[in-house]
Chains A and B, each alone.
Chain A
Amino acid sequence: MSILVQNVSKSFGDFAALHDVSVEIPSGSLTALLGPSGGGKSTLLRVIAGLEQPDTGRVEIEGVEATALPPQRRGVGFVFQHYAAFKHMTVERNVAFGLSIRHKPKEEIRQRVQELLELVHLEQFAHRYPSQLSGGQRQRMALARALAVEPKVLLLDEPFGALDAQVRKELRAWLRRLHDQVHVTTVFVTHDQEEAMEVADEIVVMAGGEVKQIGSPDELYERPASEFVMSFLGPVTKIGGELVRPHDVEILTAGTAGARPALISRVTRLGFEVRVDLEVEGEPAWAQVTRGTADHLGLKSGDRVWVLPHKVRTSVAASVGETPPAS
C-alpha cells in the first residue's frame, strides 16, 4: 500500500468534513476521489498531504507513519486547483524550486528541469512568468514542479477544475498518458464522474464526509453499492419504483412478460442517441435509445408503447467498502 488512511475524522467548527474515513491506495495506481462538493474529498487529500491536521486517525505514506509530519517532510507532490504558481519566479525557477531548496548541484537541477519541461511540453516557455501562460500551461508547470522532487505520491486537487471544457478534455487524456509513463502513485480529486471514469484505475466515492464505495470504474457503474453511487455515476430513471439506467430501458411496440405500458411524451434527437421521454403508470421516466432503434420503431410523441427495464437495481449490491481493487 502506498497510502493508508485509517479512521480519519476532521471538523471545521461545527462542520464535520471527514467522518471516520479509511482508505488504502495501492502503489502505482491512479485513483480518483469522486463526490459532490463539500463531500470531504479535498479535505481528505489535504490531510494526506499534511496541509490539514486530522482531529483523529492516522495517515501512512509508503509504510512511514506520517500523521505528525509537516507537509515538507512527507515526500508528496501536490497540485492545486488554482495552480499556486510562484508568481515572482519564471517557469524554470518554479519547477526548480523543490530541488534548489534541497541544494542540489546547479547542473543537476538544470538537466532535471529541462527533462520535466519537455515532459509537460513547456520547454519553450522556460523563461516566461506564470502570468504569461494560459491556465492549462500553468497547470502543466505546476505538475512538473510537483514531479521535480520525485514525490512518493502525487496528489491533485481538482486539477482541471479551473480550465475550460476543451483544455480539460485534453489534459485528462494527457494525465492518463503521463501516469502510464511515470508510474507514481497518483490521487486526484474531482466532482466530475466522467473525468473520474475516463482517467482513474480506481474510484473512491465520497459524500457527506464518508466513503460511499471504492472500486474500479466498471464495478461502480455496474454494481453500485447504493442509490447515491448509482445516480452519481451516471443517468438514472425510475420505472415502477425501481432504478434503472436509461440505456437499459428497452422500448417495445407489443407487450411481453415484465413489460409495462407507457406513453411517449417527447422524442429528442441528440445526434447518434435519442432521448425518449415517457409516462409510465402516470410517472415520468425516460429511455435512451440509438437513432437506428428509434427510426426502426418509428417512435414519436403520443405513441403508446411498452417498456422493459433491464438490470434493475431493486436492492443494490451489499459489498460496501469491501470491493477489491480492480488490479
Chain B
Amino acid sequence: MTRWGLRGVALVYLAFLLMMPVGVILWRTFQHGFGPVTDALTTSQAVHAFRVTAIVAGFAVVLNTVFGVAAAILLVRHRFPGRRILDAVIDLPIAVSPVVVGLALILVYGRNTSVGGWLGDRGFPIIFSIPGMVIATTFVALPLVVRAVAPVLEEIGEEQEQAAATLGASTFQRFTRITLPSIRGALAYGVVLALARSLGEYGAVAVVSGRVVGQTQTVTLFVQERYQNFDQTAAYAAATALVVVAVVSLIISRFLRPRGGER
C-alpha cells in the first residue's frame, strides 16, 4: 500500500514536471502537420541560426575536449603546486550563472576594454561576435569532459602506462595506444554531455552575442526571439528540434556512461 503510494507520488510528479511539458510542445509543434514545421526550419534565418550554433558548439567542444583530457591527466597523474586550486577552478562554472559568465566576458573583452579594444582594432572582435560566444559556451561546458574522464583515469591506474614504458613506448605512444583507448568510453560520454550543453546554451550567449538576427543568433536565441515576435510556429519548431537533440544525446550518453563494477 505504502509502496503504491510512493510510486504514485513519484510518477505524478515526473509526469507533471517532465513528461507533460515535453509532450505539449511536441503536440503544439505538429498540431498542423509537418509542413509548417519544415517551412519554419528552412527559412534563411533559421538555417543561419543552426549554422551559428554548430560553429560555436563545435569550437567549444573541441577546446573543452583537448583541455579536458589534458586537465584530467594532469589532475590524476601528477602532483604539483596549485593542484587543488586547479581542481576547484574547474568546478567553478557549475555554480556561476550563465548571465554572470556573459557579464564577466564583457568586462574583460568588451569593445570599451583595453584587451577587447586592442583585439577589435586588429579586426578580431570578441564580444558581439563568434569568438565571444565560443568563449562563453566553453566556460559553461568546461567541467563536463574533465569530470567524465578523471574518475576513469583514476580507476585504470598508472601501471598499464608504466608497463608500456618498460616495453619501449614513448610518451606519445603511451598516450595514443594505452591511455586514449582506455578512456575512450568516458571521453565519448563527456563529449556528448559537453556537446548537448554547448548546443543548448542560452544565458551566456544571450549576453555576449548582442543577439543580432542573421549574424550572431543561435538556435536558442532564435527560439526566444521568434516567440517574442509572435511567430510561435518557428519558435515551437526550433524548440522541438532542440528537444530531439537533447533526447538523442541522452540516449547516446546512456549507452556510453561508464559503469562501475565491470573488471
> B129 at interface (Cβ–Cβ under 8 A)?
no
Could you tell me which residues of chain B, from 142 to 177, have a CB within 8 Å of some CB in chain A? Answer: 156, 159-160, 162-170, 173, 177
Alpha-carbon separation in the docked complex, A82 to B164 (Å): 14
- A157: min CB distance to chain B, Å: 10
- A3: min CB distance to chain B, Å: 14
Alpha-carbon separation in the docked complex, A216 to B260 (Å): 47
Alpha-carbon separation in the docked complex, A98 to B182 (Å): 18
> A161 at interface (Cβ–Cβ under 8 A)?
no
- B179: min CB distance to chain A, Å: 11
CB contact between B182 and one of A87, A101, A146 (< 8 Å): that residue: A87
- B153: min CB distance to chain A, Å: 14
Residues from chain A with a CB closer than 8 A to the CB of B33 are: none
- A203: min CB distance to chain B, Å: 24
Nearest chain-A residue to B161 (Cβ)?
A: A84
Known A-B contacts A86-B178, A88-B182, A101-B177; A149 and B168 likewise in contact (beta carbons under 8 Å): yes
> A72 at interface (Cβ–Cβ under 8 A)?
yes
Tally of A interface residues using CB under 8 Å: 28
- B263: min CB distance to chain A, Å: 7
Alpha-carbon separation in the docked complex, A77 to B181 (Å): 23
Known A-B contacts A86-B178, A88-B182, A101-B173; A78 and B166 likewise in contact (beta carbons under 8 Å): yes
CB contact between B159 and one of A72, A82, A145, A148 (< 8 Å): that residue: A82
Among A70, A80, A86, A145: residue with most chain B CB under 10 A? A86
Tally of B interface residues using CB under 8 Å: 18
- Asked whether, in the complex, the Cβ of A101 is within 8 Å of the Cβ of B166, the reply is no
> A51 at interface (Cβ–Cβ under 8 A)?
yes
Nearest chain-B residue to A79 (Cβ)?
A: B163
> A286 at interface (Cβ–Cβ under 8 A)?
no
Q: Is the interface of B mostly helix, strand, loop or mixed?
A: helix
Q: A154-165 vs B: 1/0 string, CB under 8 Å?
A: 000000000000
Known A-B contacts A72-B166, A87-B160, A98-B168; A131 and B263 likewise in contact (beta carbons under 8 Å): yes
CB contact between A78 and one of B156, B163, B182 (< 8 Å): that residue: B163
- Asked whether, in the complex, the Cβ of B169 is within 8 Å of the Cβ of A72, the reply is yes
> A296 at interface (Cβ–Cβ under 8 A)?
no
Known A-B contacts A86-B160, A101-B177; A149 and B167 likewise in contact (beta carbons under 8 Å): yes
CB contact between B167 and one of A85, A88, A145 (< 8 Å): that residue: A145
Alpha-carbon separation in the docked complex, A82 to B167 (Å): 17
Residues from chain B with a CB closer than 8 A to the CB of A85 are: 160
- Asked whether, in the complex, the Cβ of A88 is within 8 Å of the Cβ of B181, the reply is yes
Alpha-carbon separation in the docked complex, A73 to B159 (Å): 17
Q: A56-96 vs B: 1/0 string, CB under 8 Å?
A: 00000000000000111110111010101111100000000
Residues from chain A with a CB closer than 8 A to the CB of B165 are: 50-51, 70-72
Among A49, A72, A85: residue with most chain B CB under 10 A? A72
Alpha-carbon separation in the docked complex, A51 to B182 (Å): 21
Residues from chain B with a CB closer than 8 A to the CB of A149 are: 167-168
Known A-B contacts A101-B173, A101-B177; A84 and B168 likewise in contact (beta carbons under 8 Å): no
Nearest chain-A residue to B181 (Cβ)?
A: A88
- Asked whether, in the complex, the Cβ of B166 is within 8 Å of the Cβ of A97, the reply is no
- Asked whether, in the complex, the Cβ of B166 is within 8 Å of the Cβ of A71, the reply is yes
> A311 at interface (Cβ–Cβ under 8 A)?
no
- Asked whether, in the complex, the Cβ of A51 is within 8 Å of the Cβ of B166, the reply is yes
Residues from chain B with a CB closer than 8 A to the CB of A51 are: 162, 165-166
Nearest chain-A residue to B178 (Cβ)?
A: A86
Alpha-carbon separation in the docked complex, A70 to B170 (Å): 9
Could you tell me which residues of chain B, from 161 to 212, have a CB within 8 Å of some CB in chain A? Answer: 162-170, 173, 177-178, 181-182
Q: B116-157 vs A: 1/0 string, CB under 8 Å?
A: 000000000000000000000000000000000000000010
Alpha-carbon separation in the docked complex, A87 to B156 (Å): 9
Nearest chain-B residue to A51 (Cβ)?
A: B162
Residues from chain A with a CB closer than 8 A to the CB of B156 are: 87
Known A-B contacts A87-B182, A88-B182; A102 and B162 likewise in contact (beta carbons under 8 Å): no
- Asked whether, in the complex, the Cβ of A97 is within 8 Å of the Cβ of B167, the reply is yes
- Asked whether, in the complex, the Cβ of A101 is within 8 Å of the Cβ of B159, the reply is no
- A247: min CB distance to chain B, Å: 41
- B143: min CB distance to chain A, Å: 26
Residues from chain B with a CB closer than 8 A to the CB of A84 are: 159-160, 162-163
Residues from chain B with a CB closer than 8 A to the CB of A76 are: 166
Q: A132-154 vs B: 1/0 string, CB under 8 Å?
A: 00000000001001101100000
Among B160, B162, B168: residue with most chain A CB under 10 A? B168
Q: A18-61 vs B: 1/0 string, CB under 8 Å?
A: 00000000000000000000000000000001110000000000
Alpha-carbon separation in the docked complex, A97 to B24 (Å): 56
Q: List 23 A-B contacts (CB under 8 A).
A: A50-B166, A71-B162, A73-B168, A77-B167, A78-B162, A82-B159, A84-B162, A84-B163, A86-B160, A86-B164, A86-B178, A87-B160, A87-B182, A97-B169, A97-B177, A98-B167, A98-B168, A101-B169, A101-B173, A101-B177, A102-B168, A131-B263, A142-B163
Listed in ascending order, the chain B residues whose CB lies under 8 Å from chain A are: 156, 159-160, 162-170, 173, 177-178, 181-182, 263
Nearest 6 Cβ contacts at the A-B interface: A98-B167, A84-B159, A78-B166, A84-B163, A71-B165, A88-B181
Known A50-B166, A86-B164, A97-B164; further 12 A-B contacts with Cβ < 8 A: A49-B166, A50-B165, A72-B169, A77-B166, A80-B159, A80-B163, A86-B163, A98-B168, A101-B167, A142-B163, A148-B167, A149-B167
